Amino acid sequence: MIRSILCFGISAVLIGQAEAAPRGGEVPTLATVKGTCDRLVIGGRDVTAQCNGTLLNTSYSTGRVGFYFVTSDGAALTFTGMGSSQIKPDPDTAVQPVDGVIFGFKGQFDRTKAVGTCRFTNPYARPGLVSCKADTQGGNFAAEFTTDGQPPSVMKP
C-alpha cells in the first residue's frame, strides 16, 4: 500500500520535469531502511520530533533519484536530483546534487527548485548515514538519518 501511494505521488510530482520525468507510470526501484531520524527541518522549521524511523530511496531509469524522510503523520520530505551527477569521494560514500525539494501530505504535493546535496554512505557496509540539505526561495530544508545497520529492503519494478 505504501509503495502504491508513494509511486503515484512520486510520478505525479515529477511529471512537471519532462526531461527527467518517469515515462508513463514507470515504477521506480524502491529501497527502504529503518533507523533513526536525527534531524528534519522543513522550510526553516525544526520538526525532528515528528520524523519517524523509515527512510525511502527511489531510483528511476531516467536517472532521477530521491530520498524520502517521513513523518509520523504521513507527510514526506523528498530531496531529489539526477543520479548521474553523483560524486564519490571514497568507495563507500556518495554526494548527490539536489535540484528539487518535494513536500507531500494527504495527497497534495509541492515541488520547488533547490540547490543542495545529499551525502550518504553504503548501508551494506555498516550503519549508514544520509545527510541532505537544500536551499530554496521558501527557506532551507535539511534532514539527517542513521540506518540501523540492517541491509535495505529493495523492491524492483
20: left (phi over 0), alpha (psi -120 to 50) or beta: alpha
Task: Spell out a b/e string for 44-79, using b for 16 or more CB atoms within 10 Å of the CB, else e.
Answer: eeebeeebeebbbbbbbebebbbbbbbbeeebbbbb
Torsion angle of C-alpha atoms 12, 14, 20, 24, degrees rounded to 10? 0
Taking the C-alpha atoms of residue 82 and residue 88, their distance in angstroms, rounded to an integer, is: 14
Element (H or E) spanning 12, and its range?
helix 2-14
Per-residue pLDDT of the chain in tens (157 residues, 90 and over written 9): 333 334 333 333 333 333 344 455 678 999 999 999 999 999 999 999 999 999 999 999 999 999 999 999 999 999 999 999 999 999 999 999 999 999 999 999 999 999 999 999 998 888 999 999 999 999 999 999 999 999 999 999 8
Residue for grid cell 519517524: 52
* C-alpha grid cell, residue 10: 512520486
pLDDT score, position 3? 38
Residue for grid cell 529492503: 153
Report how many domains make up the chain. 1
Residue 112 has a CB neighbour count (10 Å cut-off) of 15
CATH code, domain carrying 92? 2.40.160
* C-alpha grid cell, residue 157: 519494478
Containing domain of residue 130, as a range?
A: 2-155
